[in-house]
């Protein structure tokens, strides 16, 4: 029986993700400040997704300190296959807003959804790793 595993991604430089998230938050804050009645909810959703993403990155860092990750069989996640792409997301977000400033609400909402999906996927992997370790220790 052939078993597929998900190989661990190289640990990215955390400063890049923090700077990219900060850039996205600053852009969202500027748009919300400029027109809160129009852009406020989208900026709030994006801010919430960035907070969730930060929590997911912290959970991953805490798990990495606990030792080697167990082997996880199955197909790799499409969301996790590309790794953190916060820098690219920040650049694309800025370019989209330069080309279409009136489109902040749909662009920010879409980016919030993508960021939240990646964060939730990392949190689920962390939960699986914790359960797998607990089962290995009990069994």
**pLDDT tens figures, 52-102:** 988 888 887 788 777 665 555 554 554 554 555 667 778 888 899 999 999
Q: What is the pLDDT of residue 86?
A: 63
pLDDT, tens digit (0-9, with 9 covering 90-100), for 101-126: 999 999 999 999 988 998 898 888 88
Residues 6+ apart with CB under 8 A from 62: none
Bridge partner residues of 5 (DSSP):
73
| Tens-place pLDDT, residues 19-28 | 888 989 999 9
- pLDDT score of 29: 95
Residue 33 has pLDDT above 90, yes or no: yes
Taking 50 as the threshold, does the pLDDT of residue 127 lie above it?
Answer: yes
Helix (H, G, I), strand (E, B) or coil at 73: strand
CB neighbours (10 Å) of residue 95?
10
- Spell out the domain ranges in the chain: 15-70+86-138
| pTM (2 d.p.) | 0.76
Q: What is the pLDDT of residue 13?
A: 52
User: Contact 121/79 with Cβ under 8 angstroms?
Assistant: yes
Distance from C-alpha of 95 to C-alpha of 72, rounded to nearest angstrom = 37
Q: Which tops the pLDDT comparison, 32 or 65?
A: 32
Q: Contact at 8 Å (CB) between 23 and 94? A: yes
């Amino acid at each position: 029986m052939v078993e597929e595993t998900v190989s661990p991604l190289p640990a990215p430089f955390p400063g890049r993700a923090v700077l990219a998230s900060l850039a996205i938050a600053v852009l969202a804050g500027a748009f919300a400040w400029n027109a809160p009645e129009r852009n406020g909810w989208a900026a709030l959703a994006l801010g919430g997704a960035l907070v969730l993403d930060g929590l997911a990155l912290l959970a991953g860092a805490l798990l990495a300190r606990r030792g080697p990750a167990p082997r996880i069989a199955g197909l790799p996640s499409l969301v996790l296959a590309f790794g953190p792409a916060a820098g690219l997301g920040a650049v694309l977000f800025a370019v989209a807003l330069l080309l279409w400033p009136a489109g902040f609400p749909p662009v920010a909402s879409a980016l919030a959804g993508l960021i939240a999906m990646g964060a939730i996927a990392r949190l689920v992997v962390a939960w699986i790793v914790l359960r797998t370790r607990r089962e290995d220790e009990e069994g």
